[in-house]
A and B are shown apart, each in its own frame.
Chain A
Amino acid sequence: MKANLVRRYLQKELNGWWIISMVGAGIILLPILFVFFELFQAPNENWFQVRDYLLQTYLFNTVTLLLLTGLFTAILGVTLAWLTTAYQFPLRNFFRWGLMLPLAIPPYIAAYTYRTMFSYTGVVQTTLRYEFGVQVDPEVISVSSLRGAVFIFTLFLFPYVYLITKAFLENQSSSYIETARLLGRKPFDVFLKIVLPLSRPAVVGGVALVVFEVLSDYGVTSYFGIHTITTAIFQTWFGMYDVDTAMRLAAWLMVILVGMVVVERLLRQRQRYHLSSKSKPLTPMKLRGVKAVAALSYCALVFGLGFAIPLLQLLSWAGLTFEKVWDLSFFILLKQTISVAAVSSALIIILAVVVANISRSKNVFSYFLSKIITAGYSIPGAIIAIGVLAVFIELDGKLAPVYASLGWGEAPLILSMSLFMLIVGYTIRFMATGFNAIEVGFEKVGTKYLEAARMLGNGRTMAFFKVDLPLIKGALLSGFILTFVEITKELPLVLLLRPFNFETLATKAFQYAKDEMIHEAAIPSLMIIAISSLSVVLFYFIEKRVKQ
């Protein structure tokens, strides 16, 4: 009886889509589980060293960075979101978009730009010396510190909070805010009593993204010489060739991460307001005089520090090194970066479409499947990298007899030396970006066209290609662009998983910077920034479309 029901259910639901999804979920889950199970293995000598002498510092630095950055991005993000949605002041429309642009500059690029600008020979100190005759204490002005890292992360990651909060305020809050205004509350009161509490889920969501980025960071912290768990993973891996200890550190990082996710859930608890999506947008109030100038200056300051100044500095350096860097090898670099990002994004989008498509029939299995498939977004690149590496080495071991029979020598490392490993790493890390975009697309289309197509004699797959695919084209494209951008910006994963001598724009820029060839780093960095700006442009066009 039971067995019959199950069989009947499988007749309805089991198909190629499910099988591909299960395989995809397996590939994503396996490396993560590998890292997790390291916690239960017997540790080696080195680990006790690391644990007794270093772990405390690593933990302290990591947590301090997270807390401070989280706090400051929240402040910056919420105030700017409120200012640009609720008020009308000069250049407001420009800043509404411009304030997203800092996201186009990866923090590690900002880090070496700012450090060089503030160095003894950099533009800030030389100007002070020669124009004003001021000598400053290098300790005070140096950005190579925990303080400096917080400054960089805050300036270049706050748009996550800004974006989510702005979307929330613009679309969902108008009736409450207008009611409060009509009840005679002063604007500042409205902000404190209505806006802040209402937008808490949005802010927490944005800060969570910031926290995941900071946890994942290797570029800024290693460049500034701050020891965090992520930099320690790199050190034990590349410095000591001790993958076991690196993996154990990754497992600990994962424990922090689970803690963070729990905190996020607690902060959001019962706060997922379901506001009507049809609520009309908030009408901004006009600011005049001093207030308008103050609002303008605040936005301009953040925009300047977070985008214009580093961009101008990079452009001027690029001018100095153009002849030297802009040659054939640079085009090869560009081609490599674009092709690996394009292949990975395509893979992500295909898998995302398959999983999102079966997640349209809501049940327990599809729920868990979508959770597994998107797990990577919250897991730092270094953890994913180390898990993927462990799995690939294991695979190479298992495949050794096959290699031998093909005459490729005794136990060679084929898979774990290939580009395939990097692509798998990217897929795990950025699956969620593609998946979310496509899920939104499917939600907009709904299931009625699919059902109509099936009633007209088309199987699931035919119906998908003929009806759903043309209708979610836009979502496919935006999913592709967003993942492409993320992959181009990504640093830790590619540093750890790239094959020997394989360079991308990100690794090259970072390498130049580490070798103190800051000026040479400018052109690859600018290229990354140009590609990343695509996602801001995309948001702009999507909003314009929606408004029409």
Chain B
Amino acid sequence: MKVLEVEGLTFSFQRGEEPILSDVSFSIKKGEIVGVLGQSGSGKSTLLRLISGLEIPWGGSISVAGKPVVNQRLFVQPEKRGIGMVFQDYALFPHMNVRDNILFGLNKMSRAERKNRLNEMLELVQMTDFAKRFPHELSGGQQQRIALARALAPKPEVLLMDEPFSNLDADLKASIRSELRSILKAAGMTCMMVTHDRKDVDAICDRSFSLSEDSAARKVHMQSL
């Protein structure tokens, strides 16, 4: 089953400018971890913002779990799309501790469910002892794990990750890469991550494609791993 389907997506920030993304199409099946490669400035973050509904495309359509979320006539607000996102700089709420950050997306659950889910998530990312800490009291790697737990907690249909390793030290990267893959697989999560580093993709993803800079039209080249 296709969880995420993108068809002919075209976008530019200003009318009349050469599009940053033009005619991008791909789809992701349930449980897959797909990597999107591209150099800095090639439009990776923009692609994620379009899928999540933070920007509106000029053309093309996106469906999540079979339901259209944006096309020529329709726009579904980001909070209604069932998409989770780990931001490039994590965006952990600075005025809330780890616990409240993770609970933030669970407001529709009952009290008991929320508590269960919180503990489940803390265990998944192995941060049970840190529930009372504030984001600025955590290391980069720990912050990343909390951001991941927060995004996974509401059980989104798809998880989007923007350069999940860009803020980490080189030696930390290697260990966290394999850990991330096992967390995602354990959660059975469908995931799309963008990165400029092929090593990330090789370590984590089932397959990948690249947003290439060279072709003027910036067509997407599908590549199976």
Contact = CB atoms under 8 A, between A and B. Distances in A.
A54 B87 CA distance: 66
Interface in B82-101: 83-85, 87, 89, 91-95
A8 B91 CA distance: 28
A454 B91 contact: no
A513 B73 CA distance: 67
A37 interface: no
A457 B72 contact: no
Contacts of A7: 73
Nearest to B59: A5
Interface in B52-98: 52-54, 56, 70, 72-75, 77-79, 83-85, 87, 89, 91-95
A58 B150 CA distance: 66
A316 interface: no
Interface string B29-73: 000000000000000000000001110100000000000001011
Given A452-B85, A452-B91, A12 B105 contact: no
Contacts of B151: 455-456
Nearest to A9: B56
A451 B84 CA distance: 11
A470 interface: yes
A458 interface: yes
Nearest to A473: B95
A466 interface: yes
Contacts of A455: 52, 78-79, 83-85, 151
Contacts of A471: 94-95
Contact of B78 (A4, A448, A454): A454
Interface residues of B, number: 29
B93 A452 contact: yes
A449 B73 contact: no
A460 B70 CA distance: 18
B164 interface: no
A347 interface: no
Interface string A1-42: 100110111011000000000000000000000000000000
A362 to B, nearest CB: 10
Given A8-B72, A451-B91, A457 B77 contact: no
Nearest to B52: A455
Dominant SS among interface residues on chain B: loop
Given A452-B93, A471-B95, A8 B75 contact: yes
B224 interface: no
B130 interface: no
A491 B166 CA distance: 57
B72 A448 contact: no
Nearest to B150: A456
A457 B108 contact: yes
Contacts of B72: 1, 4-5, 8
B74 A451 contact: no
A1 B72 CA distance: 8
A455 B80 CA distance: 9
Interface in A435-470: 448-449, 451-460, 463, 466-467, 470
B91 A449 contact: yes
Given A448-B91, A470-B95, A456 B105 contact: yes
Contacts of A11: 74-75, 77
B104 A456 contact: yes
Given A8-B72, A457-B154, A471-B95, A452 B87 contact: yes
A1 B71 CA distance: 12
Contacts of A5: 72
B107 interface: yes
A165 B78 CA distance: 44
Contact of B73 (A4, A12, A454, A459): A4
Contacts of A463: 79
Contacts of A448: 87, 89, 91
The 4 A-B pairs of least Cβ separation, nearest first, read A456-B105, A452-B91, A11-B75, A448-B91
